[in-house]
Amino acid sequence: MIVEKFLQWSKQAKAIDRAKAANALGRAYIQSSMSEDEARAAEAAMIFLLDDPSPLVRFGLAEAICFSSRIPRAVIMGLASDQLDVAGLVVSCSPVLGDSDLVDLVADSRPGLQLAVAMRQNLSSSVCAAVAEVGCNLAVSELLQNRKARIASVSFNRIWERFEDDVDVRSRLIDRDDLPCDVRHALIFKVGHALAGSRFVSSVVGIGRVSSVTASACERAIHTLTDNVRDAEIPALVEHLRIRGDLSPAFLMHVLCKGNIEFFAASIAAISGMGRARVRAILVDGRRASIASLLTSCGIQRSIGEVFVQSTLLWRDAAKGNSEPFPGQIMDRHMQAMRRYQDDKAVAEMFQLVERLNLEYQRRSAKDYAISMTAA
């Protein structure tokens, strides 16, 4: 009876008063103990209000019920299809909306609704995938800031494919700790290229030095990435580097000099086509001839292959405790072993590159150590 009187009254009331009444009705439905008949009447009244000509009324209703899981689906779906300021309230937080509803809303292509979806808490990987696939740049940027969204690796890759030239999206990607290593690697080069074209950077370091400075910065970032990559992500990063042609002998020798045997083994496995476990077994326990044969299968020329064999044996001794396993000392021993083969032009060229990489690595390690001591 009360609801019937409300509906009669609403025909004559002003929009602002109807909005207040709609809000009160929604709150009463959520908070009050209603009989079955009263609840049915209130639901009918809310559905009736979906057609109110004033958005103020529909907004007032949405504001009252947007967080409740008790609201009839018909009411929520009606509000979700309303104009943006009304729909945004329920789309951003209503627990009534399921994953399939949210995917459909993202596919609706209205940027405001996509943004509202991206703001929701605890987004599933399927909804994140929908935003990554068809969401506008604002929605994708918001998704990347949503730390409770479960974004799968494939979605990160899709975001990168679509928005690698978008400065804001790139910035959000950089801030993600869970960014797949292959995407982070591609991002490093993209940012480096952008910096190289910056007038500000050119004015600071000089036009002639821009390329070398940015290339060096990218190189350092990549080596830091290989040092800290999770074991599960090593194959993806290795494959990314292989496709780009970055698994050079100098790069691999530097990795070996640092004692990063897992990354080295995965790289050799990717180049040779042999299983990673088999490659690691040869590196750890194989005979000298087996190691040489493995490197030959990678297309590494014989003289350089011999240097790799020597360095592998040095690493093996250090790993077994037969020599002091400090990275700096081990690197020096690797370099001494390489010097014996410098009469070969290819080895000499590789030696110069590896020496530069190793010196840069040792300077960076010393700086990090000094900073940690200062912080302590």
Residues 45 and 71 in one domain: yes
Overall number of domains in the chain: 3
Per-residue HEC secondary structure of 118-147 comes to HCCCCCCHHHHHHHHHHCCHHHHHHHHHCC
pLDDT at residue 364, as a whole number: 64
Cα separation of the two ends of the chain: 72
Residue where one domain finishes, among candidates 137, 162, 187: 162
Instruction: Provide the domain limits for residue 323.
Output: 247-358
Residue 276 domain-assigned (yes or no): yes
Q: Is residue 157 in a domain?
A: yes
pLDDT of residue 204: 43
Q: In three state form, how does the secondary structure of 7-36 look?
A: HHHHCCCCHHHHHHHHHHHHHHHHHCCCCH
The answer to whether the CB of 187 falls within 8 A of the CB of 165 is: no
| Domain-embedded: residue 11 | yes
Cα–Cα distance measured from residue 324 to residue 331, given in angstroms and rounded to the nearest whole number: 11
Is the CA virtual torsion 322, 326, 328, 329 positive or negative?
negative
Question: Per residue of the chain (376 residues), what is the pLDDT tens digit?
Answer: 566 677 777 777 899 999 998 999 999 999 888 888 888 888 988 998 999 999 999 999 999 999 999 999 999 999 999 999 999 999 999 999 999 999 999 998 789 999 999 999 999 999 999 999 999 999 999 999 999 999 998 899 899 989 988 989 988 998 888 888 888 877 776 655 554 544 544 454 444 444 554 455 556 666 667 777 888 888 888 887 887 788 888 888 878 877 788 889 999 999 998 998 999 999 988 899 999 999 888 888 888 888 888 888 888 877 776 554 455 666 677 677 677 766 777 777 777 777 776 676 666 666 665 666 666 5
Four-CA torsion 221, 224, 225, 229, nearest 10 degrees: -170
| Cα 133–Cα 136–Cα 138 angle in degrees, nearest 5 | 125
Is residue 230 left, alpha or beta, with left meaning phi > 0 and alpha meaning psi from -120 to 50?
beta
Q: What is the number of other CB atoms lying within 10 angstroms of the CB of residue 210?
A: 18
pLDDT tens column, 235-249: 888 887 887 788 888
Give the tokens for residue 113. 């609704």
The verdict on residue 216 lying in a domain is no
User: Tokens in use for 201?
Assistant: 């950077």
Tokens of 284: 């750890």
Of 162, 189, 208, the one marking the end of a domain is 162
Task: Please indicate, yes or no, whether residues 31 and 132 belong to a single structural domain of this protein.
Answer: no
Integer Cα distance of 271 and 243 in angstroms: 10
Q: Is residue 368 part of a domain?
A: no
**Tokens 């609704």 sit on residue:** 113
Residue 224 near residue 181, CB atoms below 8 Å: no
pLDDT of residue 206: 46
CB under 8 Å, gap of 24 or more: what pairs does 315-324 form?
315/256, 315/259, 315/261, 316/283, 316/284, 318/259, 319/259, 319/261, 319/284
**In a domain? residue 202:** no
Angle at which helices 99-107 and 125-134 cross, to 10°: 0
Q: What is the pLDDT of residue 324?
A: 47
Residue type, 245: G
Q: Residue 210 domain-assigned?
A: no
Domain boundary residue, one of 90, 106, 132 = 90
pTM (predicted TM-score): 0.65
pLDDT at 201: 42
26 is a domain residue: yes
Instruction: Return d(Cα 331, Cα 328) in angstroms, integer.
Output: 5
